[in-house]
Structures are given as C-alpha cells and as structure tokens.
Structure 1
Amino acid sequence: MYVYILTNPTKTTLYLGVTSDLNRRLYEHSSGRGDANKFSGKYQTDLLMYFEICLDATQAIAREKQLKGWTRRKKDALINAFNPTWEAIDLETWAG
C-alpha cells in the first residue's frame, strides 16, 4: 500500500491519496486531468511529489488521515525532505 502526494504544475494545490498500485493510480490521475468534476481534474494534480510504503491498508489509511490533518507548511516540509527539488517523480527512473 502507498500513501502519496500529488501537486499541480504551479505547485499551489496538494492531493493526498492511498493506493495499492501507485503506477496505475498515477495513470488514472493523468487520464482524468481534464475532468473538472473530479478534484485531480479540477486542480490538475497529477505530478507525484511524495510517496511512502505502508504495510497494509489500515496503516495507509491512518497515515493518509494524519497527513490530511497537517498544515500546508508541514506537508511542504515533508515533501522538501523527500524531494527537495519538487521535480515530478518518475517511478521508472527515480533513485530516491
């Protein structure tokens, strides 16, 4: 299971999610980019900035809820520690 954070091209909006298949979920976010009825489509959040692996769904959901309760400043600090350049993470090439 994964907890992940996406942003938009201007890095003004963050989206937090949970998935068992991060590659598939990223594809779904990029495919729905134009769908204004969905959060990721409305705010164009399809750039992966952060992710972490959790042991199971219960842990992932608890972590997602914890992160959603954080301030933007605290989320930004988490991303900065993990991905200081704020470049979109490509899971195929990212060395972490």
Structure 2
Amino acid sequence: MKQSYVYILKCSDNSYYTGVTSNLTQRLFQHETGFYPDCYTANKRPVELVYYCEFTDINFAIDIEKKIKKWSRAKKEALINEEYDKLPNLAKKSF
C-alpha cells in the first residue's frame, strides 16, 4: 500500500505550513527550492520540517491535514512537541 504523509513546516517568518503528500522527500525539496512560486512557503524560506506522520490511506491523511490546518498555533506546537495530553484542552480561540 502506498504511504502518504501529513507534515508541518516551520517557515522563516515563524509561521507553520501544513501539507499532505505521497512523496515527502520530493515535496520538501519543492518547498525548499520554491518550485511552486505561488505556494505559501515560496517567499517564506528557508523552511524546516518540524513534524510528519505516515498514513496508508490518502483520504484519511487529507482529513487529518484539514483538521490540523484549523488548529491554533498552540495546538500545533503541542503536536510538534509530542505533548499529546495537551491536545484536547487547546482550542482555536481563547475564551
């Protein structure tokens, strides 16, 4: 079965970019070289891979990517730092 990856990059402006791909090495090279000039990361290089996870179902990987993109910065950083116990309590908005 073909592997898929959800990944998070930290950009030079300290923002995070979340993506999904079936070839992580190639996609990282594309981000690092600005292969797609209209891509979010093209003018935010250099980028650093700070998180990735593997999936065997591309549809599930896409669903996870969409969820992570909606997360707050704090929640993304908890995931990156493997602080999984914090994830349920971190919301997108502060109340």
TM-score range, shorter chain: 0.7 to 0.9
Q: What residue is the counterpart of 2:23 in the other structure?
A: 21
CA RMSD of aligned residues (A): 2.1
Q: For structure 1, which runs of at least 5 residues remain unmatched after alignment? A: 83-96
C-alpha distance in structure 2 between counterparts of 1:75 and 1:51, whole Å: 12
Given that 1:15 and 1:45 are in contact with CA atoms closer than 8 Å, whether structure 2 keeps it comes out as no
Q: What residue is the counterpart of 1:90 in the other structure?
A: none
Given that 2:20 and 2:62 are in contact with CA atoms closer than 8 Å, whether structure 1 keeps it comes out as yes
Q: C-alpha offsets along residues 17-55 of structure 1, whole Å, 9 cap, x if unaligned?
A: 00000000001111107x4x3311122262100000012
Higher mean alpha-carbon deviation, 61-70 vs 44-53, is at: 44-53
C-alpha distance in structure 2 between counterparts of 1:61 and 1:45, whole Å: 25
Stretches of 4+ moved more than 6 A in 1? none
Higher mean alpha-carbon deviation, 40-49 vs 62-71, is at: 40-49
Among the aligned pairs, what percent are the same residue? Answer: 39
Count of residues paired in the alignment: 80
Q: For structure 2, which runs of at least 5 residues remain unmatched after alignment? A: 84-95
Question: Would you say 1:4 and 2:7 are equivalent positions?
Answer: yes
Given that 1:5 and 1:49 are in contact with CA atoms closer than 8 Å, whether structure 2 keeps it comes out as yes
TM-score, normalised relative to structure 1: 0.74
Given that 1:50 and 1:79 are in contact with CA atoms closer than 8 Å, whether structure 2 keeps it comes out as yes
